[in-house]
Chain A
Amino acid sequence: MDYHYDVIVIGGGHAGSEAAHISAVMGLKTLLITNSIHHIALMPCNPAIGGPGKGHVVMEIDALGGLMAKATDLCTIHIKKVNTGKGPAVQTLRAQTQRDRYSLIIREYLEKTPLLSIFQGEASDLVLNSNGGISGVKTFQGTQFQCRSVVIATGTFLNGVIKIGEISFPAGRQGEFPANHLSQSLRQKGFETGRLNTCTPPRIDKRTIDFKKCDEQKSDDLPLCFSWESTPRVYDGSSVFLTRTNEKTCEIIRKNFDRSPLLYHFSDSSPVRECPSLEDKVYRFPDRLSHLVFLEPEGENSNEIYVQGVFTSLPEEVQWQILHSIPGLENCHIIRPGYGIEYDFIPPTQLKPSLESKLIPGLFFAGQINGTSGYEEAAGQGILAGMNAGRYAHNKPAIILQRDESYIGVMVDDLVTKGIQEPYRLRTGKVEYRLLIRHSNADIRLIEYGYQAGTISQSRYQMIQKKKNIITQELKRLEKTSIFPRVDLNRLLEKKHTSPLSEPARISSVLTRPQMSYYDLSPFDPDRPFLSPDIIEEVEIQTKYRGYIERQIRSVEEFRQMESRPIPLDFPFDRLKILSREAQEQLQALRPTTLGQASRIRGVTPSDLAALLILLEKFRKERQ
């Protein structure tokens, strides 16, 4: 029996699975410790992957060599392109999946990964070496493993307490034990912990729903998929159905406000604005009498329907009443009632942008334990923490994803710089340079990181280089090639409500018109090369929005200047008398690693930054 590993990952959810997988792919001997091997990569909440912000992360995980995209493609039953017509930056995919299949597929991937072992047990304590760095993990049941770095990805399990109406009991998820020992161990080692809560909706029996009263949302009739390794497919089976709550629903909820243990206004838990419960929505928006409810299939072979929108911690008897007040659900049968859960999290300002803790070298945190919500957010942190735990074990510098190159970078920067007051969700609106970091170019954006870390193959790397070249060439060709004011072209332009040409024009300039697509111009562009749809999409976006893209590139240059100035780890923030008191306190508490990060900390003003800049220079010179 070998007790020595390079990297140990605690927790087998979406963060833990991606972390363990990528670490093993990088050639590190990796161990995944999970409470239950049957619950690897479980989807305890909605049976869907993707959507605005989240779909972008799925693409980034794929670009870095992770599992989520390809696993989703293998169990998709319904998929849609979302946000078409609202802008290229916010367009992405959302897939409904066969929930139980997803878990099995990920488990299979993990089991097939060389160098990766799985161990069932409850990790209860961390072992440190004489320098205070991580050296191993103990389980409650009595095994001790040695390692060079650890990723903790325990989700909602730390001190988890389920709350349904007046009832509450300790649990990690419904039907699973919580992990209380590790939480205590972390506090003993000096970590601050906080409490968060979230709700999940009831699942109901498909056979008891009157779908005629609901609106149907079919899967798109275009072939779609997430991963570059998958083949796009059209799905024509399961649909999502849409219904609405009504005045009667609100009435029932209003009567039972005081029975909701997690309603923000009545409990001492944190506010939940990004994923509010239905009772929170009714409480905060009393004038709104109707809220959307989506009925999402949990799988083609399952009778369970996930009632998206009815997130609740109200007592079960009230849940029956609520559902029966909704059109189409009057006679529905609940299979699994909804519930709220409260759990410990590690305020993520205790982490570096690599997701390593500032307190214990070699100890990384990822996923819901950092205060995020959502599978994709968890998986995105998982892959980054896994890569960096691996690099730590190899004594290589950490990979830091920047705000201007990935959604994962934005999320991690938000977490470690601003901290959280409520469960954190990614949204496109949080990403300031989103026009540059699109769903469609995740592979090009992140290829260098994957290649550098060894999670991307040489052939894949060359494939992306080739793709980049083809895009550049086609952009140049469109710049150089003219089309002429022919009768049929002008007829088309007028039909599309845009002005006809009176003299020859560059194809690129005609394509700049929002009404015109690359495909529209095909009859007038005979020398056009044959290109794949993903390349055409990129070429079209880069031509159409060139002005805006160039402006964002200039903003990024300014941003990078600040980002490229590191703050040494031992920089004496406490001696910065010259700064405002608030800035000094904040900087000392958060210890930012770059000047850019410092600039995003609350309370730090431009004049504080100017002074900081000077002191940094002085510190550097004194060092030499």
Chain B
Amino acid sequence: MGAVGIVKLSGNDSIEIASKVCRLRSGKEIKKLPSFKLALCDVIDNNNKALDEGLVVLMREPFSYTRENVVEIQVHSSPLIIQKIIQICIIKGARLAEPGEFTKRAFLNGRISLNQAESVAEIVKVQSEKALYSLYQNLRGMFGEKITEWQKGLALIQAKIQVECDFSDRIGATDLQITFAKEINTIRQNIRQQYDRSKKFQNLQNGLLVVICGKPNVGKSSLLNAIIGKERSIVTPIPGTTRDAIEELFLIEGFPFRFVDTAGIRESQSYIEKIGIDKTKKYLEEAHLVIVLFDQSQEINREDYTLVDLVRKKPHIIVLNKSDLTSKIEKKDVNELYPQEKIIKISALSGKGIDRLLDQIIEKVQLIKDNYDEDYLAFNLRQQNELFKASTFLEQAQKSLEEGFPIDVVSIDIDEALRCLKRINGEDIDKKVVDSIFNNFCVGK
């Protein structure tokens, strides 16, 4: 935390991509920026909203490490911000570098000198081994098995297509188009599901979304301030990432958290307020953990009931605020709404009970994490990216088949999806397809 993170782009389109990701404060075009000159910029998201401020520098070919156009974007190194910038770059046409790829490109383009060659060779080897290690270390578990299962399923479809094209005399194969579309859809859904779960889990690791909700004036903002004010939490504000709600990123005992203070939910007919409530509901849907705040100085009313229905199925913590004021409701009143649940009494104003609340949050986080079977998930962005690409290729395959594209053409999509999976587990699929042909089908001249 606090250091600078650098996102590096190399290749023909890197300046083009950078100009879609960064907006110079000077108002000039990035393309016109001279090489090796740092410029202040805003990193912008898809909707042109600023994510963070940063510095950008261009190194035009051939005067860069790779001898290609290189752009470096320097930002605050919060993991969330960096992930976000990488994601935006990918949306705009970049892809993640392979292990050691910058060095590889430097060599391909004749940039590395003779003297450096040998020593860099060692480094590349070490780098790749490390990369391989991190690539494969979490593949021993169920995740690896899943990948292999999908590969087998796709290899079988490829084999069937090849058998049909190389060994069958019939004309057309429209029946197979429908069958394959269904088979592909099943695998695609599995991959997509895995991707979504992995993504969710990663979000969890990047910053657990804790949503504070309650009716108006229940003390939500004070609670947030009280939590942030605690010495054991470190705060990094992220401007512009939230809609109307305030979002703060900070660490509690090593866990990154994103706290959101939502607009209060109240029974209302007003259109504008309804928008605010819809947003709150959306936050509640995304939330990993909800803090339901009650004001113990006020009686429970219909607004509280609405809230109860909204969050009942979410992991939540129930908090009675304003313990310093005269109590109009007791724990047992709340327990009527949430039977047999632990209720924490605090005073956001005085700070009393906040430590117990934080302990409770940490405890809940552990529980939530345990709920994810980590064995099944893709941990790093690279793997997730491959899963996403694989599911996109399969979606294309399915769509093409349904539109009536012939099976052999669609095998290009399946092949690409297989290659994405291969990049996750390193297994060579070509042999699998061939084996699948001869083990499953009785063919011959």
Contact = CB atoms under 8 A, between A and B. Distances in A.
A276 B438 CA distance: 10
A427 interface: yes
Interface stretch (B110-118, B238-246, B267-275, B318-326): B110-118
Nearest to A87: B408
B367 interface: no
Interface in B397-445: 403-409, 411-412, 415-416, 426, 433, 437-438, 442, 444-445
Contacts of A607: 99-100, 124-125, 128-129, 132
A198 B30 CA distance: 66
A593 to B, nearest CB: 18
A472 interface: no
Contact of B406 (A85, A551, A605, A615): A85
Contacts of B415: 432
Interface string A267-286: 00000011110000100110
Interface string A543-563: 001001001100000000100
Interface stretch (B34-42, B163-171, B247-255, B281-289): B163-171
A87 B110 contact: no
A419 interface: no
Given A610-B124, A617-B117, A52 B103 contact: no
Given A90-B165, A578-B125, A614-B124, A548 B114 contact: no
A515 B110 contact: no
A515 B405 CA distance: 9
A615 B120 CA distance: 10
Nearest to A612: B121
A274 B445 contact: yes
B404 A515 contact: yes
A429 B112 contact: no
A87 B405 CA distance: 8
Q: Is the interface of A mostly helix, strand, loop or mixed?
A: loop
A82 interface: yes
B406 A548 contact: no
Nearest to B113: A621
A414 B169 CA distance: 26
A113 interface: no
Given A89-B408, A548-B412, A614 B107 contact: yes
A353 interface: no
A435 B408 CA distance: 9
Q: Which of A90, A311, A373 has the most CB of B within 10 A?
A: A90
Nearest to A292: B169
Contact of A86 (B112, B114, B173, B403): B173
B172 interface: yes
A618 interface: yes
B122 interface: yes
Nearest to A285: B442
A402 B445 CA distance: 26
Interface string A433-461: 01100000000000000000000000000
Contacts of B112: 614, 617
A552 B412 contact: yes
A328 to B, nearest CB: 18
A561 B408 CA distance: 26
A91 to B, nearest CB: 9
Contacts of A89: 408-409
B165 A52 contact: yes
A545 to B, nearest CB: 6
A121 interface: no
Contacts of A87: 165, 406-409, 411
Contact of A610 (B100, B404, B438): B100
B174 interface: yes
Interface in B70-127: 98-100, 103-104, 107-108, 110, 112, 114, 117-118, 120-122, 124-125
Contacts of A432: 415
Given A85-B172, A435-B409, A429 B404 contact: no
B408 A276 contact: no
B166 A428 contact: yes
Contact of B120 (A285, A561, A606, A614): A614
B132 A273 contact: no
Contacts of B405: 514
Contacts of A308: 445
Contact of B409 (A281, A548, A622): A548
A552 B445 CA distance: 29
Contacts of B117: 614-615, 617-618, 621
A309 B426 CA distance: 38
Contacts of A88: 406, 408-409
For the complex of A and B, the 9 pairs showing the least CB-CB separation, nearest first, are A87-B408, A85-B172, A607-B128, A429-B162, A514-B404, A87-B406, A90-B165, A427-B166, A618-B117
Interface of B: 98-100, 103-104, 107-108, 110, 112, 114, 117-118, 120-122, 124-125, 128-129, 132, 158, 161-162, 164-167, 169, 171-174, 403-409, 411-412, 415-416, 426, 433, 437-438, 442, 444-445
7 contacts: A87-B165, A311-B445, A552-B412, A607-B129, A610-B125, A610-B128, A614-B124
Interface of A: 46, 52-53, 82-90, 217, 273-276, 281, 284-285, 288, 291, 308-309, 311, 373-374, 425, 427-429, 432, 434-435, 513-515, 545, 548, 551-552, 561, 578, 605-607, 610-611, 613-615, 617-618, 621-622
Given A551-B412, A552-B412, 20 more contacts: A85-B172, A86-B408, A88-B409, A90-B408, A281-B444, A374-B445, A428-B165, A429-B158, A429-B165, A429-B437, A514-B404, A561-B108, A578-B121, A607-B128, A613-B108, A614-B112, A615-B121, A618-B118, A618-B121, A621-B114
